[in-house]
Amino acid sequence: MAQYDWTGIHIPIITPFKDDFSVDEPGLRRLVDYLIEEQKADSLVPCGTTGESPTLSHGEHQRVTEIVIDATADRVPVIAGTGSNSTHEAIEMTKHAEQAGAAASLQVCPYYNKPEQHGLMAHFEAIAKNTSLPLILYNIPGRTGRLIDVKTLVALAQIDNIVGVKDAAANVNQTMALLATTRKMSKKFYVLSGEDALTFGSMCLGGDGAIAAVAHVVGRELHEMMQAFARGDYKAAQDIHFRTLDVVNALFIESNPVPVKTALAMMGQPAGALRLPLVPLRPESRAELQRCLQELGKI
C-alpha cells in the first residue's frame, strides 16, 4: 500500500455534462486543470455525491475515474469514489479504480438498506480485504440514513488500509469523540471534514483538512487557511473562515451539487446540465448565490 499524507483540502470534483446530459469529457479535463492550478487541490475525488454518482452508469463511473486519473498526470493523487450499498459492487468498483491508477478510495456508508454496526464492520472489512488501496470511509448519515458510530470507526481504523474518514455527521460531539480517541492511536487516522461550514471548527479540534465541495469555488482560500493553521496563525485562519462563510452557506442553499455547478458556470468553468432528479436553482436561490459570489469577488 502506497503511503500518502492525506492532510489537506481535497475536492470532490463535479461531473460536467453536455446539453444532451452525456459526460463532457473535454470539460472534465479542463476542470481538473482548474482545480489543481487555480483552486490548489491537494487531491481530486471523482464520482462522489458532488459528482452526481447516483446518476452515473457503471460505465460512466469507470470512465470519469479514468479521465480524472489521466488528466491529473500525477500532479495530485486521486481518491476514487467507489462506495456502494452493495458490498460486491463496491469491491468491483474499487478493483477497477486500483487498476486505473487511483491512489485511494472513498467508501460511503451503505445507504438505504441501513445495516447495523456489525454489518457496517463486515462491509468495510470485506472491501479492505479485496484491495491494497488506502480506504477513506465516508460518514454522512443525512444522506445514507445510517451513522457509523465512533466505536465502529475506531475498530475499523485498526485495519491497515483503512486510513481515515470523511466526517459529514454534522455533529461536533461525534467529531470530538472521534478525534479524542484516534489522536491516541499509534497509527495515523485522518479525520477530514465533510461538512463544509464546519471545516474550520474541525481543524481547531485537530482535524486534518476537508473533502470539500465548496473548494470548487474557495479552494484557494481553504488552502491558505490550512497554511495558516500549519504556522500557528489561528487568527488568520479564523478570518478566512468568516470571510468565506457566506459563500460556503450559499453553496448549500439547495441540494449539493446544484449550487456548486451553478457557481462554476457563473465563473466561466465547465459545469453544464444537471441530471434529474436534480433541477436548476430557483430564481431567488440563484440571486442569493450570485450576490455572495460577487461580494467575495468570484464573479
Active-site residue (options: 40, 166, 190, 261): 166
| Assigned C-alpha cell, 237 | 485562519
Active site residue 138: yes
| Assigned C-alpha cell, 37 | 492550478
Q: Following DSSP, what letter does each residue of 231-288 receive, concatenated?
A: TT-HHHHHHHHHHHHHHHHHTTSSSTTHHHHHHHHHTT-S-B---TT--PPPHHHHHH
Distances (CA, A) of 273 to 122, 256, 261: 38, 14, 8
Asked if residue 127 lies in contact with residue 87, where contact means CB atoms within 8 angstroms, the answer is yes
147: Cα separation from own chain's centroid: 17
Q: What does the alpha-carbon distance between residue 195 and residue 225 come to, in Å, rounded to a whole number? A: 16
| Assigned C-alpha cell, 277 | 432528479
Q: What are the start-end ranges of the H helices in the chain?
A: 25-37, 58-72, 87-100, 117-129, 141-144, 150-156, 172-182, 199-204, 215-230, 234-250, 258-266, 283-295
Q: What does the alpha-carbon distance between residue 105 and residue 46 come to, in Å, rounded to a whole number? A: 10
Active site residue 166: yes
Strand-strand pairing, 162-167 and 209-211 = unpaired
- 112 sits in the region (left: phi over 0; alpha: psi -120 to 50; else beta) called left
Closest by CA to 161, choosing from 180, 191, 188, 192, is 188
Active-site residue (options: 40, 138, 190, 261): 138
Catalytic residues: 138, 166
